[in-house]
Amino acid sequence: MNRPLVGTLATAVLGAAALVGTVGTAQAAPGAAASHHGQHKTKAVDFAGTVALSNCSGSVVRMPTSQANDPALVMSNGHCLESGMPGAGEVIVDQPSSRRFTLLDKSARGVGTIRATKVAYATMTDTDVTIYQTGSTYAQIEQKYGIKPLELATEHPAKGAGISVVSGYWKKIYTCSIDGFVPTLKEGDWTWKDSVRYTPECKTIGGTSGSPVVDTTTGKVAAINNTGNEDGEKCTVNNPCEVDENGNVTVHQGTNYAEETYGIPKCFGAGNKLDLSAAGCALPKPAGVRR
């Protein structure tokens, strides 16, 4: 997985962040992404609404049905959870949290801090996501900072779609397209389903975990960045392997991946309240909850 950065490593890495921005992957200026949809115009993608965590990236997100006075939600990876990575099969809901997030404007400037009140949902089973509920409403954030949330798409992403992976931690945008989809992606004890595979231009690194993957045609969040095969190993931590419908296992060193998010809105109802029993909600449920 795109490893969360911790302790002294994070301090050292952040100190070198200014150097990294010009090395390796292409850093897209707003609007610089080329269209992968031919006739479709691309939307300028910037940092507004993204956040930096202590060890990962994330974003303030809204559901299509979210209202201005609903508590704002912040999305990052399950493996970025401050209490530790959820085990295989583990689902966490309504866990108290006071985690802080640095909110960024379109130029990646930190404009303020918002704080979680709880982990609404977190898992590393089938997907790799943590959704925090914050103590601020969308309206309060917009009024105070002039920042609007990113909206989660509700349709399955398309092969070939142009995407931008926006890392609030690194203040860096990776631009590529969706190379295809992986029926099963295995890494260590964890298994993810229908994962997004990037084209080679998106060379994401540790600290980009939790970055929103923005469709450059719609401007909506299509997925959440989470992992890549670093060393060419097979199905080990930081070295995910692909498993096709027939069970064939392949390894693609240097290839990076994301987990789709289009199904998440079906699991949140009025007031941005989690409802895992809602019609169409396919997120894994905690043990003992009726499916």
pLDDT at 2: 85
Specify whether 136 is located in the same domain as 179: no
The residue with tokens 């943590």 is: 130
| pLDDT tens-digit readout, 70-91 | 999 999 999 999 999 999 999 9
Specify whether 164 is located in the same domain as 147: no
- Two structure tokens written together for 226: 């989470």
Q: Alpha helices of the chain — where are they, by DSSP H?
A: 7-15, 17-20, 138-145
Q: Alpha helices of 16-55 — where are they, by DSSP H?
A: 17-20
For the ranges 18-32, 103-117, 183-197, the lowest mean pLDDT is seen at 18-32
- Give the torsion sign (CA, 226, 230, 236, 240): positive
- Mean of pLDDT over the chain: 89
Specify whether 98 is located in the same domain as 229: no
Specify whether 58 is located in the same domain as 145: yes
Does 280 reside within a domain? no
pLDDT at 49: 98
Q: How confident is the model at residue 290 (pLDDT cuts 50, 70, 90)?
A: low
Specify whether 37 is located in the same domain as 174: yes
Specify whether 35 is located in the same domain as 129: no
pLDDT at 283: 98
pLDDT at 37: 38
Return d(Cα 77, Cα 80) in angstroms, integer.
5
Q: Which helix (H) or strand (E) holds 103?
A: strand 100-104
What is the CA angle 172-175-179, rounded to 5? Answer: 140
Specify whether 129 is located in the same domain as 169: no
Does 64 reside within a domain? yes
Query: Residue 274 has what DSSP assignment?
Result: B
Q: Distances in Å between the alpha carbon of 221 and those of 49, 64, 146, 163, 239?
A: 11, 11, 20, 9, 25
The residue with tokens 């209490």 is: 83
- Amino acid at position 117, single letter: T
Specify whether 56 is located in the same domain as 84: yes
Does 284 reside within a domain? no
Q: What is the CATH number of the domain that holds 138?
A: 2.40.10
Q: Alpha helices of 74-223 — where are they, by DSSP H?
A: 138-145
Contact 132, 120 (CB under 8 A): yes
Count of the separate structural domains present in the chain: 2
Specify whether 160 is located in the same domain as 244: yes
pLDDT at 43: 83
Does 16 reside within a domain? no
Does 68 reside within a domain? yes
Show the domain range for 203: 24-47+152-260
- Region 112-133: mean pLDDT is 98
Return d(Cα 155, Cα 220) in angstroms, integer.
10
Return d(Cα 208, Cα 283) in angstroms, integer.
23
Is the per-residue pLDDT at 56 higher than 50?
yes
Does 291 reside within a domain? no
Return d(Cα 276, Cα 278) in angstroms, integer.
6
Q: Which residues contact 18 (CB under 8 A, 6 or more apart)?
A: none
What is the CA angle 56-29-9, rounded to 5? Answer: 25
Query: Residue 270 has what DSSP assignment?
Result: G
Find residue 249's DSSP bridge partners.
Answer: 243
Q: What is the CATH number of the domain that holds 256?
A: 2.40.10.10
Does 283 reside within a domain? no
Does 281 reside within a domain? no
- Region 118-137: mean pLDDT is 98
Q: Could you tell me the pTM of the whole model?
A: 0.88
Specify whether 147 is located in the same domain as 200: no
Specify whether 112 is located in the same domain as 141: yes
Return d(Cα 218, Cα 200) in angstroms, integer.
22
Specify whether 126 is located in the same domain as 39: no
Q: How confident is the model at residue 34 (pLDDT cuts 50, 70, 90)?
A: very low
